[in-house]
Structure 1
């Protein structure tokens, strides 16, 4: 028969090891309850720690993207507001031009309208140079050393760098728009072709309109008048070559050629010439207003010249206002798109937070139950160790 001998030292060591192990578990649970995290360090649960780290990285990327979206949203809000102000000012200028076409107005009354339009021009220049509150300018394009638009003797020029600045995100989100393109590059004429009164003092031509887009050419057309025996006729020339001759003229009646239609009013004289040329992207907001001011300020102009000046000025104002409206629509559309981007980022951030919480957060109810059990076990182990300490031979002999 064999006898297993268990020394008092071995019993002490076993009890002490059990006690320390329970204490470690109890301390670990206390740390988890204090931090609210089940995974405090990677060794606690490597798989969950890796999952939480991926979720945390996604949160950080999402936060960075949200800051970019906020920056773009603020910039486009400022841009949309500035363009709205510009549109209102241009509408005021248009109303002044319409009233200036009144045949009963004197030179002084038209000059007064010109002064009011000049004041609007100054306000528009201030809008074009509006600061963004961050040390830059709303319409500086890709940047400028100072105000992007400078008023020089030859007209307003753009001193910024053309193009847009976008935030660094997965999709392009603008911080600035190209101010030069918005303010200085509208289509001339009616947007397709330009009508021009070359030399007539007795008649005027309107802005014209497109009747057949597929027939439009890039040619220059001249409408030349001849008056003989009290009868007025006109000829149409295309790039200097006659297309039709001897056409009867009626004031205000539409003249059509190659998909274009326009009306000439008044009483053209012999040799009067009107011209159409293709539109170009070269019309400036400020040049349009300067032209209107200059024309309305001229004294002694007859009714036809005033009508031509007013017609041309209104046509120009409509074109630059259309350019401003298009830019404003783009800013508004961008703001709508930013709302969608922000919603997607919010959903992504919530998903990442949920994933990270699922990986590393502590179930407090479960932790409290576990803590109570561990505390009970620790108390039992402590009492067991105290009992073992009393089982020495000397204690036994002294009993």
Structure 2
């Protein structure tokens, strides 16, 4: 086979250019730290790297959503803590106002304190989230969600709550109406009411036998015969369920419920027992209490009844806010657990991406040295081929 000088030149030049290209590519890979810089380098691993990057991007989005929820719930938990503390102060003021030795002026002073606490609670209910929204706005409101009207505080936000847009359902806002305006009345099962009495009062009552509860309404009325005062308990249909002489301090029990009536009930006095409903609001409780404390010339029984009812209702609304605070705390705990899963998923994505496209530095250095040696050999070969020409020989 005849090999011309021109062919030798061409072959040597092509080999030299190939070696130089390979050396440049190896140098580029070492500089970037990437084994796969474009899809044509390794289509399979390039596709794996793209899928891994999608996992990382989704994890980053979930992390941002998680932080938004955590910030909002931290602010909400702080707000509910402030509200609980204010309600505790209101309870202490009501305990003081129930003192039978207080004058009307002293009870009015406690009412003024409750008015100040009510205003602070109203401010907490309308607290901003620091980003143009409101913590208790439900599904959103451009204005403060609670409005103080002549008929009481009204909720003008959108009922419900907003969750962050992520793979995990985490709250971003709280349903303000449910938090502040929908506490259970009475003791949570039934509510006792002093319908007409100026000489006696009734306590909050308690459940003595859950299996006997009917969820019905009842009334207690008093009669007198032979100087003995007796009570009669009837249901909503008028059926007599219990009847006995009245003894102060002795509990009255009927169909799984137990309650005490104190004082000296008179003929015609009436007390009602009705099922509990979630219609009690924080501000309504304070408004009723303030109105009663500023009413002069009330009897001792009326003062006692007001104090007991107010304490019962303050405990109910305070308990509802405490339950909500616990739920918010659970959301924060869940956010911590979610963060662990998001971090683990992101690490998986980063690891998969690295395995698919990152360079093994030790192997890369070895390859670079080999290609550098090959390039040097090609230069020497080309130099030798240059001396094969006839003109070189003649000279």
2:337 alignment partner in structure 1: 340
Distance of aligned partners of 1:244 and 1:47 in 2 relative to their CA distance in 1, 3 Å threshold:
closer
Residue 174 of structure 1 aligns to a residue whose secondary structure is coil
Listed one character per residue, the Cα deviations across residues 311-352 of structure 1 (whole Å, up to 9, x for unaligned) are 111111011011101110110000000000001100110111
Distance in 2 (CA, whole Å) between partners of 1:317 and 1:294 is 15
Distance in 2 (CA, whole Å) between partners of 1:185 and 1:252 is 32
1:271 alignment partner in structure 2: 268
Could you tell me whether the CA contact under 8 Å between 1:222 and 1:240 is conserved in 2? no
Is 2:97 aligned against 1:89?
A: no
Gaps of 5+ in 1: none
1:10 alignment partner in structure 2: 7
1:361 alignment partner in structure 2: 358
Distance in 2 (CA, whole Å) between partners of 1:56 and 1:244 is 73
**Pairs aligned (count):** 395
Could you tell me whether the CA contact under 8 Å between 1:252 and 1:266 is conserved in 2? no
Is 2:129 aligned against 1:132?
A: yes
**Residue 48 of structure 1: how far off its partner (Å):** 1.1
Could you tell me whether the CA contact under 8 Å between 1:39 and 1:49 is conserved in 2? yes
1:392 alignment partner in structure 2: 389
2:158 alignment partner in structure 1: 161
Runs of 4+ in 1 over 6 A off after TM superposition: none
Gaps of 5+ in 2: none
Listed one character per residue, the Cα deviations across residues 194-218 of structure 1 (whole Å, up to 9, x for unaligned) are 1011111000000111112222123
1:370 to 362, 367, 371: 367
1:210 alignment partner in structure 2: 207
1:324 to 321, 325, 343: 321
Listed one character per residue, the Cα deviations across residues 114-166 of structure 1 (whole Å, up to 9, x for unaligned) are 11111100000000000000101000000112000000111000000000001
2:191 alignment partner in structure 1: 194
**Residue 96 of structure 1: how far off its partner (Å):** 1.0
Distance in 2 (CA, whole Å) between partners of 1:309 and 1:229 is 32
2:311 alignment partner in structure 1: 314
Is 2:69 aligned against 1:80?
A: no
Could you tell me whether the CA contact under 8 Å between 2:235 and 2:241 is conserved in 1? no
* TM, length-normalised to structure 1: 0.97
Listed one character per residue, the Cα deviations across residues 197-240 of structure 1 (whole Å, up to 9, x for unaligned) are 11110000001111122221232111110123321101111114
2:47 to 46, 50, 55: 50
Distance in 1 (CA, whole Å) between partners of 2:264 and 2:136 is 46
* TM, length-normalised to structure 2: 0.98
2:300 alignment partner in structure 1: 303
Is 2:376 aligned against 1:379?
A: yes
Distance in 2 (CA, whole Å) between partners of 1:286 and 1:24 is 80
Listed one character per residue, the Cα deviations across residues 28-81 of structure 1 (whole Å, up to 9, x for unaligned) are 011111111111001111111111111001000110111111111111111111
Listed one character per residue, the Cα deviations across residues 1-29 of structure 1 (whole Å, up to 9, x for unaligned) are xxx21100111111111111100100101
Distance of aligned partners of 1:246 and 1:193 in 2 relative to their CA distance in 1, 3 Å threshold:
closer
Distance in 2 (CA, whole Å) between partners of 1:66 and 1:265 is 59
CA-atom RMSD in angstroms: 1.0
2:278 to 270, 276, 281: 281
Is 2:26 aligned against 1:26?
A: no
1:141 alignment partner in structure 2: 138
Structure 1 residues 222-233: aligned runs within 5 Å: 222-233=219-230
Residue 172 of structure 2 aligns to a residue whose secondary structure is strand
Could you tell me whether the CA contact under 8 Å between 1:235 and 1:242 is conserved in 2? no
**Residue 369 of structure 1: how far off its partner (Å):** 2.1
Distance in 2 (CA, whole Å) between partners of 1:178 and 1:203 is 39
Residue 237 of structure 1 aligns to a residue whose secondary structure is strand
**Residue 365 of structure 1: how far off its partner (Å):** 2.3
Distance in 1 (CA, whole Å) between partners of 2:392 and 2:216 is 123
Could you tell me whether the CA contact under 8 Å between 2:194 and 2:202 is conserved in 1? yes
1:221 alignment partner in structure 2: 218
**Residue 245 of structure 1: how far off its partner (Å):** 5.5
Listed one character per residue, the Cα deviations across residues 252-311 of structure 1 (whole Å, up to 9, x for unaligned) are 211010111100000000111111011111001000011111111111111100000011
Distance in 2 (CA, whole Å) between partners of 1:313 and 1:24 is 88
Distance in 1 (CA, whole Å) between partners of 2:97 and 2:248 is 22
